Amino acid sequence: MDNKVYAPDSTDAHIDALKKRYGGDLVILGHHYQSDDVIRHVDIVGDSLELARRIPDIKARNIVFCGVYFMAESACLLARPGQRVFLPDHDADCAMARMARAEDVERVLERLTSTGRRIVPLVYVNSSLAVKAVVGRFGGAVCTSSNARIMLEWALKEGDAVLFLPDRNLGCNTARALGVPADKQVLLDLSRDNLDTEDVRKAKLLLWPGCCPIHESLMKVEMVDAFHQHFPGCRVIVHPECSPEVVERCDGAGSTAYLIKEVENAVAQGRESALCVGTEFHLVRRLMEKYADRINIIPLAQATCPDMDRVTAEKLLATLEGLDAGKGEVFVEEALKAPARESLVRMLEICR
């Protein structure tokens, strides 16, 4: 672990000066997966649900979002007229979001609903605005890892079946927790075009074949087993973007907010000597450092997200320097706004 004492450099000093200059006209938001170099400049830190919830109350004219593209797009949708949203690097996209293209989602939904079946699309917030707009037009809603359970329950009641996208793992893990039988879940195979099979027609849950490469590929069953072996009786908790096989072997799974809460509860109760946390490493390392003298927090894997890491303090500074000129401003297509907002607002209303 890096135990260096933090010494502000000229980038930090410039950022501080610009924050002072803009005062109440600027708010910097940051997702928990951002590096320390960025987080130290952030006014509001949160997971995707918390950050989305905070937007409507923000009065500042300029919102700089340190996260990935879909989060900045959601901020644009929820922002007030005249407010501007900035993302320090527009190539900071989410690998999972790229696995569902709007034209494919639309084509699949048209096929699935062509027989008159009511298919409710439920889209994880980690998706493009264009995909959220398709989902809104088909009467569906957005969900996050914090509210996936409530939203899936809602969607299952609303329709004959649910199309969950893009994360097959979050979909499957949530369905298992709700007791949806395995034989009522089907993983779509877009390359084999399995949309008209008997299985699909009978399914309650159709899973889009997307995933988070960080949580799926870098967090393995063997790692969970190794931890349990080395620390008998200690718990492993993970993000539900991990594979169902990993989640099954763990002692708890939930959103970023859940993982943080579990660590805080473990510290408060003082009964556990070690706790293994399986999610993005910047967040886990901050928890390790924060509670180093109280509990041994161990990362399941040292996995950071390359998309989140595209945002750096230097790029944040460049964005702040170019704020008046609109450098890094995020624009969303006007025609997509209303249907995408519908799917997002539906979530906020159901989870109010």
124-143 footprint of ligand 13P as x/- string (CB under 6 A): --x-----------------
Strands (DSSP E) along 89-143, which ranges? 119-124, 141-143
Phi, psi for residue 236 in degrees, rounded to 5: -120, 125
Q: Which of 147, 169, 256, 312 binds ligand 13P (CB under 6 A)?
A: 256
Does 48 participate in binding ligand 13P (rule CB under 6 A)? yes
In angstroms, what is the minimal distance from the CB of 334 to ligand SF4?
26
200-219 footprint of ligand 13P as x/- string (CB under 6 A): ------------x-------
Distance, in Å, from the CA atom of 276 to the CA atom of 263, rounded to the nearest integer, reads 10
Six-digit token string for 211: 């995933």
Q: Which of 255, 304, 319, 343 binds ligand 13P (CB under 6 A)?
A: 255
In angstroms, what is the minimal distance from the CB of 162 to ligand SF4?
20
Look at residue 333 and give its three-state secondary structure. coil
Distance, in Å, from the CA atom of 13 to the CA atom of 263, rounded to the nearest integer, reads 33
User: Phi-psi category of 190—alpha, beta or left, where left has phi over 0 and alpha has psi -120 to 50?
Assistant: alpha
| Cβ distance to ligand 13P smaller for residue 126 or 173 | 126
CA nearest neighbour of 319 among 24, 87, 91: 87
Does 169 participate in binding ligand 13P (rule CB under 6 A)? no
In angstroms, what is the minimal distance from the CB of 116 to ligand SF4?
34
Q: What residues line the site for ligand SF4 (CB under 6 A)?
A: 68, 94-96, 126, 212, 214, 241, 280, 305, 307-308
Selection from ligand SF4, ligand 13P, none that 313 binds (CB < 5 to 8 A by kind) is none
Distance, in Å, from the CA atom of 338 to the CA atom of 265, rounded to the nearest integer, reads 40
Distance, in Å, from the CA atom of 204 to the CA atom of 199, rounded to the nearest integer, reads 10
In angstroms, what is the minimal distance from the CB of 292 to ligand SF4?
25
DSSP class of residue 98?
A: G
- Residue ranges that bind ligand 13P, judged by CB under 6 A: 47-48, 126, 144-145, 212, 241, 255-256
